[in-house]
């Protein structure tokens, strides 16, 4: 199991992007969370198998047509936290 922190920048707020991310996470069996940071920035923590994470990140980056993604930065990190679901965080 791998864990990624993903920072997404662009026109992604107010268009249900976080809802799309959650639906995509469920589709690809990804656990973690998504939250707005500030204007035009969303942070995703995603945990899952290598193949599922590849499909998840590709879909989040390329498949939501209302979004205009300017940057999609992904980095793997080590954590002891094991997520059991995928949640939209409100703060």
- Flag whether pLDDT at 91 surpasses 80: no
For the chain, the domains span 2-89
In tens, the pLDDT along 1-35 reads 999 999 999 998 889 999 999 999 999 999 999 99
Return the pLDDT at 13.
82
For residue 28 the two structure tokens come to 């690809």
From the candidate CATH numbers 3.30.70.100, 3.40.50.280, 3.40.228.10, 3.30.1490.190, the one assigned to the domain spanning 2-89: 3.30.70.100
pTM across the whole model: 0.94
- CA distances 84 to 22, 41, 46, 48, 81, Å, are 13, 24, 11, 11, 10
């Amino acid at each position: 199991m791998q864990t990624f922190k993903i920072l997404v920048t662009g026109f992604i707020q107010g268009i249900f992007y976080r809802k799309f991310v959650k639906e995509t996470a469920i589709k690809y069996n990804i656990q973690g969370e998504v939250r707005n940071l500030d204007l035009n920035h969303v942070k995703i923590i995603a945990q899952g198998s290598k193949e599922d994470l590849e499909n998840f990140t590709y879909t989040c980056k390329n498949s939501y047509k209302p979004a205009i993604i300017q940057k999609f930065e992904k980095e793997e990190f080590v954590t002891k936290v094991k997520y059991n679901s995928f949640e939209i965080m409100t703060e």
